[in-house]
Amino acid sequence: MTAENAVETIDLTKKFDEFTAVNQINFSIPKGEIFGLLGPNGAGKTTTIRMLCGILSPTSGKGEVLGYDVASQPEEVKKRIGYMSQKFSLYNDLTVRENLDFYARIYSVPNSIRKNRIEDLIEMAGLKGHERKITSDLSGAWRQRLALACAIVHQPPMLFLDEPTAGVDPISRRDFWSMIYELASQGVSVLTTTHYMDEADYCNMIGMMYRAQLIALNDPDSLKANMKGILLEVDCDDYHKALEVSEKIPGVLDSAVHGILLHITVEDYPARHRLEEALQQNRVKIYSIEEVLPSLEDVFVSMVEAEERAELRASLRSGGSE
């Protein structure tokens, strides 16, 4: 592991009996950067984060956090990281301040600085005025802020966040990310998992996971720029029928509902013309069809479609050779 990296994995793998939850993933996180693991539920994100936190032992491969091996030195890793899990893990019957004090003691924050540290966290998390509130009485957004404050009470240089904004409203999610940016500006390295595609734009680097594998690794802008084909945004009167028609047209790479519109990716301009002709022939009324820049959601859908096409081709070749 290089001194510039807070996290590094080499062929990191986790199996549960015959089931492979994480399959030979490779990535690194430079110190002070935000790395996002993006993907649907069940893709292997949480298993990855638990291995890197020293909670689960890898089946094979290697993972290092802050220079410590996650398999042979898990306790050294745990001392130096902050971890915010998917499920709310604080004590609902304690007040905000009592939770912070409890975690400060668990993490052995010295008595001499504990009080000031707690006051700083209350200020950072915007919890001023809420210190005496029982945690169970807080809204989801306020509990989220408290959970983050507890995770960093010992000032860890590495922070792991597992679906930290699940179930939180968009404004609160944005406020939460402002706090993460502030921590990164102070040199804290962050690994976060999410299935919210828009959140991944906040990350310096993204790893897209699907079926236990890392299928893409790059910064958000590069992922969008490198997406294959031409992305079309289609407004029509019957998008269910439009989807059915588009799936049968040569040169259409993928198609998906995007709000009240369709996002259809074609490989070239002749494919676009074939699409428009087929929609008209099938009496789908087109209100507009425009080229648009892809979002990370478009990129992810495109990647998944490509993976599934490759699996289908491999399966057909395998079946034909038997």
pLDDT at residue 167 greater than cutoff 80: no
List of domains in the chain: 5-223 (3.40.50.300), 226-321 (3.30.70.100)
pLDDT at residue 87 greater than cutoff 80: no
| Terminal Cα-to-Cα distance of the chain (whole angstroms) | 44
Residue 145: both structure tokens together: 């802020």
Quick one: CA dihedral 181, 183, 186, 192, positive or negative? negative
Is there a contact between 168 and 99 (Cβ–Cβ < 8 Å)?
no
To the nearest 10 degrees (0 to 180), the angle between helices 96-106 and 140-151 is 20
Q: What is the pTM of this model?
A: 0.87
322 — pLDDT class (breaks 50, 70, 90): low
Residue 200: both structure tokens together: 């991944």
What is the rounded distance in angstroms from the CA atom of residue 239 to the CA atom of residue 104?
54
Quick one: CA dihedral 56, 58, 63, 69, positive or negative? positive
Cα–Cα nearest to 78, from 87, 91, 66, 60: 66
Quick one: CA dihedral 162, 163, 167, 170, positive or negative? positive
Q: What is the DSSP letter of 95?
A: B
Q: What mean pLDDT comes out for the span 25-29?
A: 97
Burial class (CB in 10 A: 0-12, 13-18, 19+), 290: exposed
Beta-bridged to residue 162, according to DSSP, are 193
pLDDT digits (tens, 9 = 90+) for 119-139: 999 999 999 999 999 999 988
Say what the pLDDT of residue 300 is: 87
Q: What percent of the chain has pLDDT over 90?
A: 72
> What one-character-per-residue DSSP string does 217-284 give?
EE-HHHHHHT--SEEEEEEES-HHHHHHHHTTSTTEEEEEEETTEEEEEESSHHHHHHHHHHHHHTTP
Q: What mean pLDDT comes out for the span 170-181?
A: 88
Say what the pLDDT of residue 128 is: 92
Residue 186: both structure tokens together: 């102070």
188 — pLDDT class (breaks 50, 70, 90): very high
Say what the pLDDT of residue 198 is: 80
pLDDT at residue 288 greater than cutoff 90: yes
pLDDT at residue 320 greater than cutoff 60: no
pLDDT digits (tens, 9 = 90+) for 137-159: 988 888 989 999 999 999 999 99
Say what the pLDDT of residue 88 is: 62
Say what the pLDDT of residue 113 is: 96
Burial class (CB in 10 A: 0-12, 13-18, 19+), 173: buried
pLDDT at residue 317 greater than cutoff 80: no
Is there a contact between 132 and 55 (Cβ–Cβ < 8 Å)?
no
Say what the pLDDT of residue 163 is: 87
Who wins on pLDDT, 87 or 322?
87
Q: What is the DSSP letter of 141?
A: H
Say what the pLDDT of residue 319 is: 67
pLDDT digits (tens, 9 = 90+) for 204-245: 999 999 999 999 999 999 999 999 899 999 999 999 999 999
For the sheet containing 19-30, what is the strand order? 19-30, 5-16, 60-65, 68-69
pLDDT digits (tens, 9 = 90+) for 6-20: 999 999 999 999 999
pLDDT at residue 291 greater than cutoff 80: yes
pLDDT at residue 290 greater than cutoff 90: yes
Rg (CA), the chain: 23
Residue given tokens 């976060």 in the structure block: 192
Q: What is the mean pLDDT of the chain?
A: 91
